[in-house]
Chain A
Amino acid sequence: MNWKKESVRDAYGKTLVELGKERKEIVVLDADLSSSTKTSLFARAFPDRFFNVGIAEQNLMSLAAGFAYSGKIPFASTFAVFATGRAYDQVRQSICYPNLKVRIVATHSGLTVGGDGASHQMCEDIGLMRSMPNIAIFSPCDAPQTREIIKSVVDYPGPVYVRLVRQDLPTLTEGMDFRIGEAQVLADGNDITLIATGSMVSTAILAASELKNQGISVRVINLHTIKPIDLKTIVRCARETQGIVTVEEHTVTTGLGAAVAEVVSEHCPTFVMRVGVPDTFGESGEPDALLEKYGLNVETIVRKAKSILEVKK
């Protein structure tokens, strides 16, 4: 398909600047990665409301908490691996426990970080963040959705985690309605449901059209809000189709697939097959080569979808 591609990081940085003009309570913090996370755009526009704490992510999160206690709306950014891994306890104790309005926007999640390798490829962040009370989790599939999410979370009543990737993403949701917690139905069908999030939504769409060519009717759901999860939509899909394939650039053990399986097993048991990063660390490589090697592709989605239909026959 001929999709236009756009950087979700740029979309984030530019939206921050727009918001910063109106909302003087917004402050932005970064940990020596502002050029990569694109908070540098805000730093240039509003140097008095930008704080670079250096390579000190734990400090970053607790400082953001201090700002939130004092009536500011802090956006704290760094790579996903540091935001959620290094600073896990600070996010838990300083931010989530007191239910503070800190907006953590992390970039470079998933395998497609590429050359930096496993030390920088965060595939566990959804799981880590999802396990904590109070926090809302967003995983936009393109630049327009990133803008929508960033604007929508400014006044969200608790902590927020937004997961971005390094790669440019194809534009899929331009002009579509966005509401926190409401999954988007990108294609309707009644044999099988693909529930995808973030960078993998476009791959799910491609897999759906491949399945359609093979005579299978596919529903495609974009689950941009991982938490609070859209129980209603997931249960409806479980009821109305033969089974669900989840697709995410995250470990299958604790991410979207796990979250969907939890919902389904309690409310409407059905098959859930998970496509995502297997239970292993990544490695250096070109983003596309990595996605192929670890099976995050059309082929795997098609195979898993057909295996459900096979069993159900």
Chain B
Amino acid sequence: MLTDEEIKFLEEKALAVRRHIIRMIYTAQSGHPGGSLSATDILVTLYFKYLKHRWAEPNWSERDRFVLSKGHGVPALYAVLAECGYFPKEELLTLRKINSRLQGHPDARKLPGIEASTGSLGQGLSVACGMALAGKIDKKDYRVYALIGDGESESGQIWEAAMTAHHYKLDNLTVFLDRNNLQIDGCTENIMCLEPLSTKWEAAGWHVLEINGHNYREIGYAIEESWTVKEKPTMIIAKTIKGKGVSFMENNVSFHGKPPTKEEAERAMKELGDTL
């Protein structure tokens, strides 16, 4: 369980991560702010409290795995990894630049700490299932975590993976669904309605939880509960706000994949208590 002090620490880290995200995407003049900001609190809680990992030994065999299935949210992951010490924070500003290790979408062969190359939506959950299955047959006790998008859940392969995880009773798998209600062309429910989402995951045989994806305590409880579930994978439907933390990006579909202008970046940084 998270203590008050730990929550304060996570809040500070999340603020630092959000600042990195704005600076990185502003500097690159391309990238996806909305889905990076909505996923920030989940990633921060995982990496700074729950995930077993060693930044100085990224390939440690007993580490927990995290797969960012919605790969376009990678600025949040890069910022978290840099804050953990995987690589120098200065490198963050090379995002999307030629010869950079920080590719526009995660590249597992370029940067330590990236567990899977993703970006083509719908595939990362299957990759995570493969890792979880490998953990089972090797009798390892690492856990596998993954984060998928709500728009991403429209893709058929997500449901192929859902069946796999159920069939093989992958209770070492904890998945977050970033339920921010938006994708590129608009609101998920107008484009391809997903609801009733939790009923669908339950029907697929998963243990399902619904939480506020910006509340560290709820994120923490959900992760801890997933550890106790036997013979079932856990789906944590995290209700989030796309663009969370920057008022004019919040619930604003136009900031899905658009970088801020200088003025917007300055305003965003001011809201985050810093300067550009």
Contacts and interface: CB of A to CB of B under 8 A. Distances in A.
Interface string A108-146: 000000111111100000000000000000000000000
Interface footprint category on B: 20 to 34
A114 B30 CA distance: 9
Interface in A180-222: none
B155 A55 contact: yes
A197 to B, nearest CB: 25
B97 interface: yes
B152 A55 contact: yes
Contacts of B155: 54-57
A293 interface: yes
B98 interface: yes
Interface residues of A, number: 33
A20 interface: no
B107 A86 contact: no
B120 A289 contact: no
B243 to A, nearest CB: 17
Contacts of A35: 184-185
B119 A284 contact: no
Interface in A1-59: 30, 32-36, 40, 52-59
B192 A119 contact: no
A290 B98 CA distance: 7
B101 to A, nearest CB: 10
Contacts of A290: 98
B156 A284 contact: no
B105 A286 contact: no
A33 B184 contact: yes
A58 B191 CA distance: 16
A120 B105 contact: yes
B113 interface: no
Contacts of A285: 96-99
A59 B120 contact: no
Interface string B93-115: 00111111011110100000000
B151 interface: yes
Given A54-B154, A56-B192, A119 B71 contact: yes
Interface in B165-201: 183-185, 188, 191-192
Contacts of A116: 30, 104-105, 119
Contacts of B191: 32, 52, 54
B103 A118 contact: yes
A59 B157 CA distance: 11
B103 A34 contact: no
Nearest to B120: A119
A133 B22 CA distance: 48
Contacts of B31: 115
A52 B120 CA distance: 18
Contact of B119 (A55, A114, A117, A283): A117
A76 interface: no
Given A55-B155, A284-B96, A115 B185 contact: no
A137 B184 CA distance: 28
Q: Which 4 A-B pairs have the closest CB atoms?
A: A119-B119, A285-B98, A54-B192, A54-B154
14 contacts: A81-B120, A115-B30, A116-B119, A117-B105, A117-B107, A118-B105, A118-B107, A119-B71, A119-B104, A283-B103, A284-B95, A285-B98, A290-B98, A293-B98
Interface of A: 30, 32-36, 40, 52-59, 81-82, 85-86, 114-120, 283-286, 289-290, 293
